[in-house]
Structure 1
Amino acid sequence: MSLTLALLLAGQAATAPAAQTTPVPPDAAAVDAQVPDAEAGRAGPAIADAGGDIVVTARRRNETIQRVPIAMSVIGGTALAETGANTVGRLTQLQPSLQFYSTNPRNSAANIRGLGAPFGLTNDGIEQGVGIYVDQVYNSRIAAATFDFTDVDRVEILRGPQGTLYGKNTTAGAINVTSRAPSFSPEARGEITLGNLDYVQAKASVSGPLVDDKVAIRLSASVTSRKGTIYNVTSREYVNSQDNLSLRSRILWRAAPNLDLTLSGDYNYQNPDCCAQIYARVGPTQRPANRQYAALAAAFGYAPPSTDAFDRITDLDTKLRAKQELGGLSLLGEWDLGAGTLTSVTAWRFWNWNPSNDRDFTGLPITSVSANPSQQRQYSQELRFANNGTNRIDYVGGLFLFHQTIDTQGLQVQGSAASRWLLNPGASVPAGAAGCSTPTTNACNPAVLNGLRSENEIGFKNTSVAAFGKLTWHVTDRFSVQPGVRVNYDKKDGSYVSTVTTGTGSTNLNADQRGVLAPQSYKPSFDDWNLSGDLTLAYDLSDDLHAYATYARSFKSGGINLSGLPLDAANNPILSASTVKPETVNHYELGLKSQFLDRRATVNLAAFWTEIGDYQATVTNNQIGVLRGYLANAEKVRVKGIEIDAAFRPVSQLNLYANAAYTDAKYARFVDAPCPPELSGGSASPANCDISGQILPGTSKWAFSYGGEYNIPATVFGTTGQLYAGVDGSYRSKFSSNPSRSISTDIDGYALTNFRLGFRKEGSWNLFGWLRNAFDTDYFELLATQSGSTGLVVGQPGDPRTYGLTLSKTF
């Protein structure tokens, strides 16, 4: 807190110049006076509400979005509520360049333009490529993105490398969430939503002065609950439910005419019965026929309750839990020094994770326990100075310090079916369901793996220090040159200790047991300096037509493997795989931002080409029983594409928007990648495969979002307001759901459509009914393969059709 306290003491002694006015806080919403509705983008994620400008703080100063030479979108708080985009994951239906995947809060990833985090289970030892910022505080845990937005003013989505303006270097983009600021005018907001699946969501906030015009407070809360979408016949419960609680407070103290201090605190709790992945299909592998899924299931007389995932039935025999607590404190200091504003952001955050998973994805006792409870603490300090502008020069410069610790206690226990499911019966045992009628091999003896237990103690320390700056030289009134630079130092230290015992408590393991759960102990470390930068040339072709060209050289810090290492032929960990190299990013972008038809139409274009050397990929561990992958470097990845963001208001009562993204994301060179499931599991299966030229997982080549809203003046029960109807649609084409593309794990393209119909009185209340996934489209969010190359493919079905009613009131 020392830097912020120094700001406080200095500000108390400072006297503002006579002509100086109270500075506008950078996180306060500001919209051009031509826009009557301060909630920009009501009809959806409009880049600008046609007819006016949106003022954003993407470059740490107030600017209109059309003049910021960055590909970005802004979604206002009202649009978030009316479109049902209450989480980062839901934003993907509005912003086609954004992807979000989550099998549970810990195993989540946000990608922009196909880049950000490796596809697969989370590995704590690497950075996120997409930064999540809430009120200028960097959130290192992607789990923060799984909570409901609470009292949000707007969300900014920035595409492309960021780091010369922001605290943490991010190579793919940033998501900036800005909460509503405390108000000196008393106000209150309330919102209640009821829907099918026993859906209930309540939100409330209150704000007003505590001490005249010196201190103001804002308190907010959000509660969400919903029955699960999948029925578990074993537990007789619905799973994949929702159970969220979010509390937030902000206190603004105007300590001096030129100094504002904002203390923020938040607490978030989540405890749903989640997260089930269920039978989707079976695909061929190279395992012998008697070791593939059909024969193994027959050997136990087992069949899933349904082979159609969209029957939404499962029989998982392990209790599911996705319990987490997340929160923290931050102190934001903004001191106007006349020549510029000095900003200090001090933050402490925590995350506690307590899960329970069924990682064999069946009702059989193969893996009876798989959980990685984790506790994270992070501390960050950012100090930034932005000048108030001259005729020719604008600049921002800053320092950033970040420290993170993570402690994880992993546990995996094998069940009575594990031996037959995971081990090779051998040539002496006949093929088929009767192959284990007598226990002649370890595979036919349940006691070999039953109770086999791995207890993992995992520690991680991550320290990052950076200096960054961005300068804008207005060469002429229309042409500017904008160089930026960042110097970064990263240090990561880890510890991984896995203790494995048999069902009888012995540490004396045979080869088959070590092949499934291997004792490991290693201490990886990584540290490195890097220099990155960018250069943007921007030209105003007219007052409403702006062009820019950007080159960025960026880095994502190297990492360490903290999920166990692959084994050599003697079942010993391969220590050379304990670290991964930094990513090197070369990014090129051309953009054009335009408004026309008296600014009733806005069309923004961006074309980009990104090359990444030593791309950090999650690869599959080919050991038979290992559930988690590990990290490796792909030599080169190339992503190119074109994006169009458009908003149109042909008449005052009609808003339309359409966004499109073409993204061609490929492994340019990856010669030692893991092989897809159909080539894995056999004695002659290749140790690795050349997947150069294949598409990156999780990225659709084509993605669209579109929608609009039409309103008419109306009087209902004596109240004059607007009757309105809206639609929001999205589409994404086929994408791969496996790190190495597989014929079994491609997800077909799908389209989703949402409708709403309501009545509102501006600035007072809003009542609307909504219908989401209106045509009850069946689609998978993710597909994954069962460990051990059995051929079982499991999926996470997307939400079915949902409907409900929302009432909100502003006082």
Structure 2
Amino acid sequence: MSLSSLSLLLLASASPLATPAPVRDDPPAVAPGIEAAADDPTDDPDAQSSQDVVVTARRREERVQEVPIALSVISGEDLAKSGAFNVSRLQQAQPALQFYSSNPRNSAINIRGLGAPFGLTNDGIEQGVGFYVDGVYIGRIGASTFDFVDVERVEVLRGPQGTLYGKNTTAGAINITTRAPSFTPESRVEVSLGNYDFLQTKASVSAPLTDTVAFRLSTSGTTREGTIQNIRTGVDQHRLRNLGVRGQVLWNAASNLDLTLSGDFNRQNPLCCVQYYVRTGATQRPLARQYAALAAAFGYTPPSTDPFDRVTDLDARSNSRQEIGGASLVANWDVGAATITSVTAWRYWDWLPANDRDFIGLPITTVSQNPSQQKQFSQELRIASNGSNKLDYTLGAFFFHQTINTQGSQVQGSAASRYLLSGADALNPNVLNGLTSTNTISFDNSSFAVFGKLNWEVASGFHIQPGLRVNYDKKSGFYESVVSLHNSQFNFDATADNVAALLAARPAGAARTTFQNQINTLAPQRYSPEFSDWNVSGDLTLSYDFSPDIHAYATYARSFKSGGINLSGLPLNSTSTGVDLSTQTVKPEKVNHFELGLKTQFLDRRLTFNAAGFWTEVSDYQATVNNNAINVIRGYLANAGKVRARGFEFDTSFRPSQRANVYLNGAYTDATYREFVNAPCPPELSGGTATAPGGVTDPAGTPGGRSPAFCDISGQVLPGISKWSLSWGGEVNVPVGSSVGQVYVGYDGNYRSRFSSNPSQSAYTWIDGYSLSNFRLGYREGDFNIFGWVRNAFDQHYFELLSTQSGSTGLIVGQPADPRTYGLTISSSF
């Protein structure tokens, strides 16, 4: 592994909540979302039942079963043994969580099917799932794709969380808490080896520096060779090269005041995330311009038509290098009746990609990349009561400022003319060969909010919990695309200012048609969108404690996801010389959410059963569209009329004795467009002669047919969402020798039913349901643990996503998930 030198920055470590979570030396108890609880080698069968999992989901320490939120918790130990070392792998244990990524920048985290539109990233929008690390809000999902380092626990909160979490949490939040510095010296080491030359090392050390100052230093490194062979370059794709460091200093400045200064640095340099040939499907494009005929014209065949042969011949460079880091200062001041918390943070994200966006080994698009740099500053100030018999409160203010600068480029190759054009220009490679779009994109985003939440016990066991948030967002951006072509036949630089003059200089004939084809393929444009708005979010939860172990709640929430601006290019207007400025901005999403929940424990808290039912309606849902415009490379945003997600979830775990535990979690999600009448059409209806709205069209898959201007997909399912998702597993152990050590065997499984992988439902882009099985066998004694593991044990063939080649050629490409992997992990604490 070759990695450049590190610079250690100081980043956020203390908990975001009213008081930091304590360092826990005892194993956590059984709780939903935990892999049937942590392992407990004690000989006392009742010891486990007396413990409680403590979380900070509501910005104060509470027992997880008493929090009236659909909430799952995964401990750091369970993350390690399940192999979930990043958010992508976390979804295997969380049925209601969906994570999609064609590369780190183009990633989305959804909960219950909601959060971010399915498709390529647009700088001008934000996610609907809040992502927090030690109280610091992470402004881009791409910056959340780091490896977990020294994590104490991960809390997944489902449903709107806007009155306590600082930014656009209309679908939920992921709250990660790392291990805090300890005044008791300790160190941890973990090493994992596996096939594909997998090597992962984790280490941490913590100790006091003085009676009032302690530190923790943690690091993680991951390398793995690729799982997909590129026969053209000889370099395997989907390799891993990750490195992370975190440092924390805790100062107990007074008996009632502590400050934590923290910093982290993460560098990832994988060769990912390639998509390649899966299948073909008929479109409305003329038959001679669909994939089979185009490939034959070049004498091209893919190296395999079975994507699970895991070979490709992509001819453009692929990379997903990124750096993530930042610093924070967290202060907690106990003033007696309340604790005042301040979280000050600065973070950055530097993204340097390379992609092959034609997905095959022909020089169609030789460069397609959008290097991007984000910087963010946030300040949160809260006051939270320290516990009252009848009334608790949290009040706060939050400020967030973010800038993003992106330098996009796209270059067409010698095969582009034949692939993208018709007529005489299709036979002249010089028409598009070397055609280059250079994009300058900037984004400035400021947000301010005040919020509050009450918990009033109006009668014994009966709580009324209202919350309110007032938020202001202001966004401004700039987008400019300069198009140039310099080859043996054509020589021009087209901007938004001179494109009309260049077109006028070609008043008629072939020269005008050719230039029109060039600027329709990559359009010069410039615009400066702006958006600002106030909104008020609120929620009301009623909960009742039937007993210490049986709790029920009902919640209504009215929430908003901030409006956005389009920063990936706009569709051309009717003259094809300008852009449709009416598509510059998108309206905020407005969310109405209803939920009923039940949390129960039985048999001395050895059996846990939690369930929740929800109904969520989203008006002005932010969706990614493209209107079949080849000049809009990354798609743009539009508001769908209404989306509805409804369903139910359950989390169960059972520990019959200290020698065994099992769990079963599930989610049923019915998420559909209730109103989306002007949606992009699926590939089988695209590529034909355009017709006016309401005009005559031809059946899907008619070569040379007529395509609708847009499609009504009301009633169709949202992309990326399985109706059924399950996770299950357990572990059994037997004592060895003097009963100090244990031999154990564990299993984790999960299932997802089929889901659509296209914004508009297509017969070509359904991903079949699949089930994964992971096994482990090991020995542990005290703080020492060694185990062998097999993940995707039955080598299940499945796709993370499917998409289409641009230009309506009918080629369907996909990104296969990891094959079977196996290895050995050794860990110890000192």
> TM-score band (shorter)?
over 0.9
Give the aligned partner of residue 755 of structure 1. 775
Residues 93, 750 of structure 2: 8 Å contact kept: yes
Deviations 1:414-443 (A, max 9, x none): 000000000023xxxxxxxxxxxxxxx111
2:589 matched to 1:586? no
Name which of 431, 442, 456 aligns with 2:439: 456
Give the aligned partner of residue 784 of structure 2. 765
The more displaced of 766-775 and 623-632 is: 623-632
Q: Take 2:620 and 2:201, find their aligned partners in 1: how far apart are those partners?
A: 46
Deviations 1:654-699 (A, max 9, x none): 1111000000000000000000000000002001000000000000
Instruction: Output aligned runs, 1:291-306, within 5 Å.
Output: 291-306=289-304
Q: Take 1:783 and 1:593, find their aligned partners in 2: how far apart are those partners?
A: 38
2:709 matched to 1:723? no
CA RMSD of aligned residues (A): 1.6
Give the aligned partner of residue 447 of structure 1. 430
Give the aligned partner of residue 360 of structure 2. 362
Name which of 700, 704, 712 aligns with 1:690: 712
The residue type paired with residue 529 of structure 2 is: P
Give the aligned partner of residue 647 of structure 2. 641
Instruction: Output aligned runs, 1:337-486, within 5 Å.
Output: 337-425=335-423, 441-486=424-469
CA shift at 1:169, angstroms?
3.1
Q: Take 2:115 and 2:233, find their aligned partners in 1: how far apart are those partners?
A: 37
Deviations 1:712-743 (A, max 9, x none): 1113xx89311111000000001000000100
2:563 matched to 1:558? yes
CA shift at 1:26, angstroms?
3.1
Instruction: State the TM-score, normalizing by the size of structure 2.
Output: 0.91
CA shift at 1:283, angstroms?
1.1
Give unpaired runs (5+ residues) of structure 2: 1-15, 40-47, 494-501, 504-514, 690-705
2:167 matched to 1:168? yes
Instruction: Output aligned runs, 1:586-625, within 5 Å.
Output: 586-624=592-630
Q: Take 1:40 and 1:158, find their aligned partners in 2: how far apart are those partners?
A: 17
CA shift at 1:744, angstroms?
0.4
Residues 89, 145 of structure 1: 8 Å contact kept: no
Task: Indicate how the Cα distance of structure 1 residues 273 and 307 shifts in structure 2: closer, same or farther if over 3 A, else same.
Answer: same
Give the aligned partner of residue 661 of structure 2. 655
Give the aligned partner of residue 16 of structure 1. none
The residue type paired with residue 446 of structure 2 is: T
Deviations 1:542-565 (A, max 9, x none): 221100000000000000000000
Q: Take 2:112 and 2:65, find their aligned partners in 1: how far apart are those partners?
A: 21
Residues 45, 95 of structure 1: 8 Å contact kept: no
Give unpaired runs (5+ residues) of structure 1: 1-22, 426-440
Residues 17, 59 of structure 2: 8 Å contact kept: no
The residue type paired with residue 807 of structure 1 is: I
The residue type paired with residue 768 of structure 2 is: D
The residue type paired with residue 667 of structure 2 is: A
2:528 matched to 1:523? yes
Give the aligned partner of residue 207 of structure 2. 208
Task: Indicate how the Cα distance of structure 1 residues 46 and 528 shifts in structure 2: closer, same or farther if over 3 A, else same.
Answer: farther
2:81 is paired with a residue whose SS is helix
Name which of 482, 488, 496 aligns with 1:499: 482
Q: Take 1:561 and 1:625, find their aligned partners in 2: how far apart are those partners?
A: 14
Deviations 1:494-537 (A, max 9, x none): 00010001134412471101111000100000000000100000
The residue type paired with residue 711 of structure 1 is: N
Q: Take 1:126 and 1:627, find their aligned partners in 2: how far apart are those partners?
A: 17
The residue type paired with residue 799 of structure 2 is: F
Q: Take 2:272 and 2:529, find their aligned partners in 1: how far apart are those partners?
A: 32
CA shift at 1:597, angstroms?
1.6
Deviations 1:10-32 (A, max 9, x none): xxxxxxxxxxxxx997342577x
Task: Indicate how the Cα distance of structure 1 residues 169 and 768 shifts in structure 2: closer, same or farther if over 3 A, else same.
Answer: same
Deviations 1:287-331 (A, max 9, x none): 000000000000000010001100000000011110100100000
CA shift at 1:568, angstroms?
2.2
Task: Indicate how the Cα distance of structure 1 residues 106 and 189 shifts in structure 2: closer, same or farther if over 3 A, else same.
Answer: same
Give the aligned partner of residue 28 of structure 1. 21
2:740 is paired with a residue whose SS is strand
Instruction: Output aligned runs, 1:74-93, within 5 Å.
Output: 74-93=73-92
Give the aligned partner of residue 27 of structure 2. 37
CA shift at 1:634, angstroms?
0.4
Name which of 726, 732, 737 aligns with 1:710: 732
CA shift at 1:45, angstroms?
4.0
Deviations 1:756-804 (A, max 9, x none): 0001113x21100000000000000000001110001100001000000
Give the aligned partner of residue 157 of structure 2. 158
Q: Take 1:576 and 1:371, find their aligned partners in 2: how far apart are those partners?
A: 26
CA shift at 1:211, angstroms?
1.1
Deviations 1:363-383 (A, max 9, x none): 000000001001110000000
Q: Take 1:742 and 1:375, find their aligned partners in 2: how far apart are those partners?
A: 35
Give the aligned partner of residue 330 of structure 2. 332
Task: Indicate how the Cα distance of structure 1 residues 791 and 316 shifts in structure 2: closer, same or farther if over 3 A, else same.
Answer: same
Q: Take 1:664 and 1:158, find their aligned partners in 2: how far apart are those partners?
A: 19
The residue type paired with residue 435 of structure 2 is: L
Q: Take 2:110 and 2:590, find their aligned partners in 1: how far apart are those partners?
A: 17
Q: Take 1:246 and 1:149, find their aligned partners in 2: how far apart are those partners?
A: 9
Give the aligned partner of residue 69 of structure 1. 68
1:704 is paired with a residue whose SS is strand
Identity %: 65
Task: Indicate how the Cα distance of structure 1 residues 699 and 39 shifts in structure 2: closer, same or farther if over 3 A, else same.
Answer: same
CA shift at 1:624, angstroms?
3.0
2:763 is paired with a residue whose SS is coil
CA shift at 1:391, angstroms?
2.0
Instruction: State the TM-score, normalizing by the size of structure 1.
Output: 0.93
Give the aligned partner of residue 700 of structure 2. none
CA shift at 1:40, angstroms?
6.4
Q: Take 1:41 and 1:368, find their aligned partners in 2: how far apart are those partners?
A: 50
2:662 is paired with a residue whose SS is strand
Task: Indicate how the Cα distance of structure 1 residues 258 and 556 shifts in structure 2: closer, same or farther if over 3 A, else same.
Answer: same
Task: Indicate how the Cα distance of structure 1 residues 489 and 25 shifts in structure 2: closer, same or farther if over 3 A, else same.
Answer: closer
1:275 is paired with a residue whose SS is coil
Instruction: Output aligned runs, 1:146-295, within 5 Å.
Output: 146-212=145-211, 214-295=212-293
Give the aligned partner of residue 108 of structure 1. 107
Task: Indicate how the Cα distance of structure 1 residues 164 and 418 shifts in structure 2: closer, same or farther if over 3 A, else same.
Answer: same
Task: Indicate how the Cα distance of structure 1 residues 354 and 106 shifts in structure 2: closer, same or farther if over 3 A, else same.
Answer: same
2:209 is paired with a residue whose SS is strand
Residues 36, 730 of structure 2: 8 Å contact kept: no
The residue type paired with residue 561 of structure 2 is: K
The residue type paired with residue 575 of structure 2 is: A
Q: Take 1:365 and 1:743, find their aligned partners in 2: how far apart are those partners?
A: 28
The residue type paired with residue 231 of structure 2 is: V
CA shift at 1:139, angstroms?
0.4
Q: Take 2:543 and 2:785, find their aligned partners in 1: how far apart are those partners?
A: 41
